Structure 1
Amino acid sequence: MDFYYAPRGSGCRTVIMVAKALGLELNKKQLRLSEGEHLRPEFLKLNPQHTIPTLVDNGFAIWESRAIAIYLVEKYGKDDSLYPKDPQKRALINQRLFFDLGTLYDSFRRYYYPFVRTGQFGTADDFKKVEAAFEFLNIFLEGQNHVACSQFTLADIAILSSVSTFDIVEFDISKYINVDRWYAKAKKYTPGWEENWEGLQQLKTAYEDQKAAAILILLSSEQYDTDMDFYYTPLGSGCRIVVMVAKAVGVDLSKKHLDTSKMEHLKPEFLKLNPQHTIPTLVDHGFPFWESRAIAVYLVEKYGKDDSLFPKDPKIRAVINQRLYFDMGTLYVALANYYYKVFATGHFGTAEEFKKVEDSFELLNTFLEGQDYLAGDHLTVADIAILGSVSTFDALEFDFSKYSNVAKWYSNAKKVTPGWEENWEGALELKKVIDAKKNAATN
């Protein structure tokens, strides 16, 4: 099992701790990103996205730390304790993993990463997002010994890696009492903690010396009779993903439209369900959770007539998870950073941000080379999730015809995905809102 990594990267350290917990030996191959080793042709053949960590298990290449972690547990775990098969427990773990990528670690990236380019940290607003992320985590841990469920899971390991990264740059964790309590204990019982901390010491040296290249290494590293309330807006691609998955598994959603422009997501009754106040949020027989991709997987695992949308085979599942994290951390981020600037400024983003959109489509085009679907030989939740994002680009008139593999896949996905029509209606509604914002700014 070859493991391409950098000891300073939090995602790399997550995988090391998971492997340690499973008793696995990794053949570690350290890449020096500052010397462009991740861009060498031999590595690009393994991972066209050229990110670390990347795992190669008997010729099977997979990347995105959280996807790797799940794969290792599902293939090599002696039991399912780190990633239980119970759909509700798994949904909570998935939500925390997406929270780690999209909120907690993202706040680190936004505040500390500008140091690389400018020698200065991010803005006061960026720091508030760090604090907000820890406040959410503090709420998740209220009365709990673990981040998700009543036992030690992958969620604890992934978030431990991120929290320890904040620790090494001297962010004050102590004022978040629940996080501080959990962190003190997690350091003691998590296998591989010592190696995680050793990697952080390397980062600390680089951080204190203000060596931007070292920080770059860190950041270069993812129909039933139901009582199911679904809080959503048709404009949101994540909400539309869940609508399509529900349609595919035959689940009726009791839709509750939240108007975020009127701050309906900040009402006390909604905050009790989801303290992070994000949509989509699903409440299944009193069990609330959020993050669209976590919801999608939960619906398939609990209500799917079979596992075709999220196969049990660890390799296929690992590819699906990688695509889901790519959708959230790369494709959707490019969408939001360029197009959603209009909500604040009345204009789209910069040429550099548009280049990130193009880069994302180039990667997606590579994933689809010689493939009709994003993972395996049939429709999965990976196709549905990325269809939600790509259709949003389409509605906003991004020309992806030059990405021939994407164009071919998209033409087919529209035909075979249940709920496509409702998804497209929501995407067109979003376009109307964005056009109105642009027109208002122009006038």
Structure 2
Amino acid sequence: MDLYYRLGSAPCRSVLMTAKALGVEFDKKTTINTRAGEQFNPEYLKINPQHTIPTLHDNGFALWESRAIMVYLVEKYGKDDKLFPKDPQKQALINQRLYFDMGTLYKSFSEYYYPQIFLKKPANEENYKKIEVAFEFLNTFLEGQTYSAGEDYSLADIAFLASVSTFDVAGFDFKRYANVARWYEQAKKLTPGWEENWAGCLEFRKYFDTKPKSFFQLLAALRLHQNTRVYLITTFSECHQREKMDFYYRPGSASCRSVLMTAKALGVEFDKKIIINTRAGEQFKPEFLKINPQHTVPTLHDNGFALWESRAIMVYLVEKYGKDDKLFPKDPQKQALINQRLYFDMGTLYKSFSEYYYPQIFLKKPANEENYKKIEVAFGFLNTFLEGQTYGAGEDYSLADISFLSSVSTFDVAGFDFKRYANVVRWYEQAKKLTPGWEDNWAGCQEFRKYFDN
């Protein structure tokens, strides 16, 4: 079992800490120098065509996306399930935190710091505000909680520790987020492999040490001490009296549509489907913020248990209500591959859609050619994943196909021409026929289309 990594990378460090916590030893830890382009070596591309780190190679099984690797290591090699419990609700909350780490917390780091480090661009104040918003959310999640996903230490804490320690070494002052500061000191003491993680942070610090001394002064100048109202998570009994599974969504949203198709495939009926008009700001209403302080859609409210992040909801529905595990198998390798595809969809495929189209739709900005190229790269990867494969994560139809279908159909209605990606075209036509709820999904796409028609 080999791990391809770079010590300075936060995602790589989260995998190393997970392995340490499990007592897993890698046969070989191969450092990949991404700055020198070693990830493009042909022998590495055979293992991981997306050429990212970390990548695990376990007796012929290749897996990337750090959080998918973390879960796989627990499922395959954990002596127990403490870091990633079998209980559907506990597991779902950890999944939500892992997606939050990828799509909000660490994303805010990369969007603010990477352009300065690697492209020598000036600091962007708007992107700095995203860091503050991310830490406010994390601070809220930790209100009254010892750990980040409930009362038990889990993979969520390891992932957050890798991210927050990277902010720490970058000089971001998060002392004003009291819950985060308290949790951070505790997590450092509890987490096996912390010393190696911190050594990796110091390795990464060299990028900041090469910047002029005024860099950290600039950070201080940009800090905006806003009086942001924090809404605490409350129990369901404080919000409502009845016990039902309600779904808060917006029909045009790709993320919401993927949950609706999953529910349809499982034969799950929501007691109530509540449309949230995000353009009108309904997600900021106090009654919704009590359920989801991150104020995002979709949000599931199941008999007192609140969950958001669409892909976490999809997995939860299978684990809790599926009559079998076909859409998300118990087999560690099959499950890990589906997880990798779900993280790819969130962090690469749909992300490329939002980065290219959203500024044009909502901010009336001109099209950005560099962001369009990211779409082409994402479809190139997807086309490669589907080479010789019937479905998105191997030979069996799964949650990966539903998630991809929601995203690709959104590109379709936006007018992106993906005919040159033959494997994607073949898979798309097949997936439309196989997926329950396709008609509702396409109706949602047409709802979204109005932004393009305007």
The question of a shared fold, defined as TM-score above 0.5 by the shorter chain, is answered with yes
Is contact 1:5–1:54 with CA below 8 Å preserved after alignment? yes
Q: 4+ residue stretches of structure 1 with deviation over 3 A?
A: none
Which residue in the other structure is 2:113 paired with?
A: 112
Which residue in the other structure is 1:404 paired with?
A: 422
Which residue in the other structure is 2:251 paired with?
A: 234
Q: For 2:440, what is the secondary structure of its paired residue?
A: helix
Is contact 2:117–2:208 with CA below 8 Å preserved after alignment? no
Deviation sequence 1:139-172 (CA, Å, 0-9, x none): 0000101000211100000010000000001101
Which residue in the other structure is 1:148 paired with?
A: 149
Which residue in the other structure is 1:126 paired with?
A: 127
Q: Tell me by how many angstroms 1:344 deviates.
A: 3.2
Alignment of 1:3 with 2:37, yes or no, is no
User: 2:366 & 2:294 partners in 1: Cα distance?
Assistant: 27
User: 1:62 & 1:117 partners in 2: Cα distance?
Assistant: 27
State how 1:355-366 maps to structure 2 within 5 Å: 355-366=373-384
Alignment of 1:252 with 2:272, yes or no, is no
Is contact 1:46–1:61 with CA below 8 Å preserved after alignment? yes
Q: Tell me by how many angstroms 1:16 deviates.
A: 0.1
User: 1:127 & 1:113 partners in 2: Cα distance?
Assistant: 12
Whichever residue aligns with residue 39 of structure 1, its letter is F
Which residue in the other structure is 2:161 paired with?
A: 160
Is contact 1:339–1:348 with CA below 8 Å preserved after alignment? no
Do the aligned partners of residues 332 and 54 (structure 1) sit closer, same or farther apart at CA in structure 2, a change above 3 Å counting? same
User: 1:303 & 1:245 partners in 2: Cα distance?
Assistant: 11
User: 1:60 & 1:35 partners in 2: Cα distance?
Assistant: 26
Which residue, out of 311, 331, 346, partners 1:328?
Answer: 346
Which residue, out of 397, 417, 424, partners 1:379?
Answer: 397
Deviation sequence 1:115-135 (CA, Å, 0-9, x none): 135434532111111000000
Which residue, out of 314, 335, 351, partners 2:369?
Answer: 351
Is contact 2:361–2:451 with CA below 8 Å preserved after alignment? no
Q: Tell me by how many angstroms 1:227 deviates.
A: 1.9
Alignment of 1:290 with 2:313, yes or no, is no
State how 1:25-40 maps to structure 2 within 5 Å: 25-26=25-26, 27-40=28-41
Which residue in the other structure is 1:96 paired with?
A: 97
User: 1:347 & 1:382 partners in 2: Cα distance?
Assistant: 32
- Larger deviation, residues 395-404 vs 10-19: 395-404
Which residue in the other structure is 1:16 paired with?
A: 16
Deviation sequence 1:51-93 (CA, Å, 0-9, x none): 0000000010000000000000000000000000000001100
Alignment of 1:191 with 2:186, yes or no, is no
- Larger deviation, residues 291-300 vs 252-261: 252-261
User: 2:66 & 2:396 partners in 1: Cα distance?
Assistant: 25
Whichever residue aligns with residue 167 of structure 1, its letter is D
Is contact 2:148–2:157 with CA below 8 Å preserved after alignment? yes
User: 1:279 & 1:371 partners in 2: Cα distance?
Assistant: 32
Deviation sequence 1:301-342 (CA, Å, 0-9, x none): 000000000000000011000000000000011000111112
User: 1:227 & 1:418 partners in 2: Cα distance?
Assistant: 23
Is contact 2:33–2:39 with CA below 8 Å preserved after alignment? yes
Whichever residue aligns with residue 17 of structure 2, its letter is M
Which residue in the other structure is 1:306 paired with?
A: 324
Is contact 1:22–1:76 with CA below 8 Å preserved after alignment? yes
- Larger deviation, residues 369-378 vs 301-310: 369-378
Whichever residue aligns with residue 325 of structure 2, its letter is D
Deviation sequence 1:333-361 (CA, Å, 0-9, x none): 10001111123333553111111101100
Which residue in the other structure is 1:439 paired with?
A: none
The runs of 5 or more residues in structure 1 that have no matched partner are: 212-225, 437-443
User: 2:154 & 2:126 partners in 1: Cα distance?
Assistant: 32
Q: Tell me by how many angstroms 1:378 deviates.
A: 1.9
Is contact 2:115–2:121 with CA below 8 Å preserved after alignment? yes
Which residue, out of 333, 339, 342, partners 1:315?
Answer: 333
Which residue in the other structure is 1:210 paired with?
A: 211
User: 2:21 & 2:118 partners in 1: Cα distance?
Assistant: 37
Give aligned pairs, total.
422
Q: For 1:365, what is the secondary structure of its paired residue?
A: helix
Whichever residue aligns with residue 336 of structure 2, its letter is A
User: 2:452 & 2:130 partners in 1: Cα distance?
Assistant: 25
Which residue in the other structure is 2:228 paired with?
A: none
Whichever residue aligns with residue 367 of structure 1, its letter is F
Is contact 1:244–1:419 with CA below 8 Å preserved after alignment? yes
Do the aligned partners of residues 165 and 432 (structure 1) sit closer, same or farther apart at CA in structure 2, a change above 3 Å counting? same
User: 2:209 & 2:69 partners in 1: Cα distance?
Assistant: 31
Alignment of 1:428 with 2:446, yes or no, is yes
Q: For 2:247, what is the secondary structure of its paired residue?
A: strand
Whichever residue aligns with residue 245 of structure 1, its letter is T
User: 2:211 & 2:50 partners in 1: Cα distance?
Assistant: 27
Which residue in the other structure is 2:85 paired with?
A: 84
Is contact 1:236–1:426 with CA below 8 Å preserved after alignment? yes
User: 1:435 & 1:156 partners in 2: Cα distance?
Assistant: 44
Q: Give the fraction of aligned pairs with identical amino acids, expressed as a percent.
A: 59
Q: For 1:251, what is the secondary structure of its paired residue?
A: coil
Whichever residue aligns with residue 54 of structure 1, its letter is T
The runs of 5 or more residues in structure 2 that have no matched partner are: 213-242
RMSD: 1.2
Q: Tell me by how many angstroms 1:210 deviates.
A: 3.5
